[in-house]
A and B are shown apart, each in its own frame.
Chain A
Amino acid sequence: MNSRFFLLLLAAAGLVVAFAPFPVQSIAPQERTFRIEARQFAYSPSEFKVNPGDTVTIQLVSADVVHGLYVDGYNISVEADPGQTASLTFIADKPGSFRFRCNVTCGAMHPFMIGRLTVGTNSWLFRSIGLAVLGLIGFFPFSFHKERMLVEKR
């Protein structure tokens, strides 16, 4: 096989894996409410999943000190005192997996108080797996190819 053609094929496949629109099964957006209890130094639950387009309401309940919740990527936050449940409503219009973290200093382990919001399928996970596989496929034939060339030169 022509190695240049193979390389081109591989690059095209890579572009498709990286940028092709994901097959989305259309789910009617709904309203979802999550009650998240925050304690030093964890959220419970710390992971939740929604579908793209959902209207998400987070009710943050703090059970010891003042805690916050900041969603990366969406750049929105809420702060709750114990006894004063705070709520945050937003439309999950960006698909992907986002970290949320406490944004009110709540003690020594405050930087490790994190959780995850997943909106729809985590397409970048699958895309990066696909790209890694393509890379492997590309690597092996080329390494054999080079070896063969070296043998032929001798």
Chain B
Amino acid sequence: MKRSELLTRILITVAVLGAVGTPLFLWARTPLIHAKVAEDGGWSPDVIRANAGEPLTLHLTSDDVVHGFAVGQMDMQGVDVLPGKVADITLTFDKPGIYTFYCTRWCGLNHWRMRGTIEVSGSNVDTQPVPAPLYVSLGLDIDAPHDAPILPSQKPSAIRGQKFSTNLPILQSPDFYRSHSPYQLFDELTSTSFTESQRWDVVAYVWQSNATPESLANGQRLYAQNCAACHGENGAGNGVFADDLAASGESSMQTMTGSEDMMMQTPVDFTDPARMLGASPALLQGKILRGGMGTGMPMWGSIFTEEQIWDLVAYLYSFQFNYQGAVR
């Protein structure tokens, strides 16, 4: 074989390998993350590794229906993941730790099961312990029944309540609001000269003064995106998935009410005064944080920020009270 021929053969081999290998190498470096409905496996891969401080670029696509991608606790806008298209997102994590990413567009009954983790490694490990949520430090049993024994005869109004609340400054502190149920405040007001309906109006006013219009609006947005499919757009527990949940039976609706006592549960009706007026914001925060333990209620603690949960809680009470210039 001539030298020039050998050189040519080598050159062609290298060129071919390069033409095939380079795209393959680039493709392998940034793998495509496939999204499928939870029944078909959810995210694959569902564990992503990254380094703190370094930008992480992800390419996402869907294999069936419209999905979305967002990382929990980051207050970020979700990226739509559409079938047949590739969505790119670049994230930078400041702190090492395990982050949860989740689907942001409803993709069926088991939409909320579609989650994965991003394991971010780094040297500046935060050793500060996370403070316990309020329901833990208050020692609340969030599974215990908490119905209010006395109910208002009409929907309490914050507008009416404002007139009676001029000399009750202590009740309006956030700490008081978060740790007391509306019924507890109603009960504490027994010593005053107000009538029952006036006391409920004061309660409505105190609850409104702890909710800014921005937090109510934010709560409403979060509710529509994440809760309304089961709990209903008007809070009545009759969302589009309520029937499907009941039909799917034990797998998603069973809950433990005691050691062995199981009962079927439907999505909670937020327009039910007994249930809502007997629940403190701390209790509702706990329920949202932890989820329903075996019911279809997801665990939101790894998704929502604390601020977002308080906004949601504030919005949930608006199903019970008439607020001034209310969002609804």
What residues make up the interface of A, taking CB atoms closer than 8 Å to B? Answer: 37, 61-66, 81-85, 104-108
Contacts and interface: CB of A to CB of B under 8 A. Distances in A.
Contact of A66 (B65, B230, B240, B241): B65
B240 A65 contact: no
Contact of B66 (A37, A66, A85): A66
B149 interface: no
A105 B233 contact: no
A66 B224 contact: no
Interface of B: 37, 62, 64-66, 82-84, 105-109, 111, 224-225, 227-230, 233, 239-241, 244
A65 B36 CA distance: 12
Contacts of B105: 66, 81
A105 B225 contact: no
A63 B240 contact: yes
A104 B169 CA distance: 52
Contacts of B228: 83-84
Top 4 closest pairs, chain A to chain B, by CB:
A83-B229, A83-B228, A82-B106, A66-B66
Nearest to B243: A63
A105 B107 contact: no
A61 B240 contact: yes
Which residue among A64, A105, A106 has the maximum number of chain B CB atoms within 10 Å of its CB?
Answer: A64
B260 to A, nearest CB: 34
A82 B240 contact: yes
Nearest to A85: B233
Contact of A83 (B64, B65, B106, B108): B106
B84 A66 contact: no
B227 A83 contact: yes
A83 B107 contact: no
Contacts of B66: 65-66, 104-106
B65 A82 contact: no
B64 A107 contact: yes
Contacts of A37: 240
A62 B64 contact: no
A104 B62 CA distance: 13
B83 A105 contact: yes
A37 B319 CA distance: 25
A107 B65 contact: yes
A19 to B, nearest CB: 43
A84 B226 CA distance: 10
Given A65-B66, A65-B106, A84-B233, A105 B82 contact: yes
A73 B109 CA distance: 34
Nearest to B223: A83
Contacts of A81: 105-106, 225, 229
Nearest to B232: A83
Given A66-B107, A105-B66, A105-B83, A84 B225 contact: yes
A31 B287 CA distance: 43
A105 B240 contact: no
A105 B65 contact: yes
A81 B65 CA distance: 12
Contacts of B233: 83-85
A111 to B, nearest CB: 12
Given A84-B233, A105-B83, A64 B224 contact: no
Contact of A84 (B37, B109, B224): B224
Contacts of A61: 240
Contacts of A84: 224-225, 228, 233
22 contacts: A61-B240, A62-B106, A64-B106, A64-B244, A65-B37, A65-B65, A66-B65, A81-B106, A81-B225, A82-B106, A82-B229, A82-B239, A83-B225, A83-B227, A83-B228, A83-B229, A83-B241, A84-B225, A85-B233, A105-B83, A105-B84, A106-B66
Nearest to B37: A65
